[in-house]
Chain A
Amino acid sequence: SQKIEQNSEALNIQEGKTATLTCNYTNYSPAYLQWYRQDPGRGPVFLLLIRENEKEKRKERLKVTFDTTLKQSLFHITASQPADSATYLCALEGNTDKLIFGTGTRLQVFP
């Protein structure tokens, strides 16, 4: 069956450290994968998109990798700040533009 799993439901790290979130999928062959941030009671906000032919993509303190052999994406936030605390969702393209979302990882950055 098709699955998208994010490694942990919650992740607590200290300010200044690098947060690493994992997204694994099975029985999909997505053309691209996306990462979103969601704050409580709000809709998701797009962060990064990485295509199947790209290994890595960066945006300011964010870095995403995409390994289609391992069927895994890693999402890194360097020099994390308390303001980075939120739920992070990975999503991959199923078919006909539909996005399939992972379960999310709730990141808490402590000062």
Chain B
Amino acid sequence: GAVVSQHPSRVICKSGTSVKIECRSLDFQATTMFWYRQFPKKSLMLMATSNEGSKATYEQGVEKDKFLINHASLTLSTLTVTSAHPEDSSFYICSAIDRGWKDEQYFGPGTRLTVT
């Protein structure tokens, strides 16, 4: 099956710094990638939709200047958490779809961000 990787799997950063999370589709071209956030024992909340070569579409309540998304190629999307604060600590998960195949989304393993 299709594989999506995320890097890093865990990151600890100091308050005020920025952190970049990478999402890669390893064996297919992802025309669309999604970024989710998940709090402990809660469901996934969609943050934004990232389309290759165009600006990301953010969900209501998600600050686009805080969570910068870049989808520079068909296999890579990045999420940068700028000026991180402790409340940004969460589990961030990306997913990707290949429109040429199915409606199925392939999820990455997630990135645990802790801001101290």
Contacts and interface: CB of A to CB of B under 8 A. Distances in A.
B93 A100 contact: no
A45 B4 CA distance: 11
B105 A43 contact: no
Interface residues of B, number: 24
A102 B106 CA distance: 17
Given A98-B49, A99-B46, A101-B43, A43 B109 contact: yes
The B interface is mostly helix, strand or loop, or mixed, namely strand
B43 A89 contact: yes
B93 A97 contact: no
Interface residues of A, number: 21
Interface of B: 4, 6, 32, 34, 42-46, 49, 91, 93, 95, 97, 102-110, 112
Interface of A: 32, 34, 36, 41-46, 49, 89, 93, 96-104
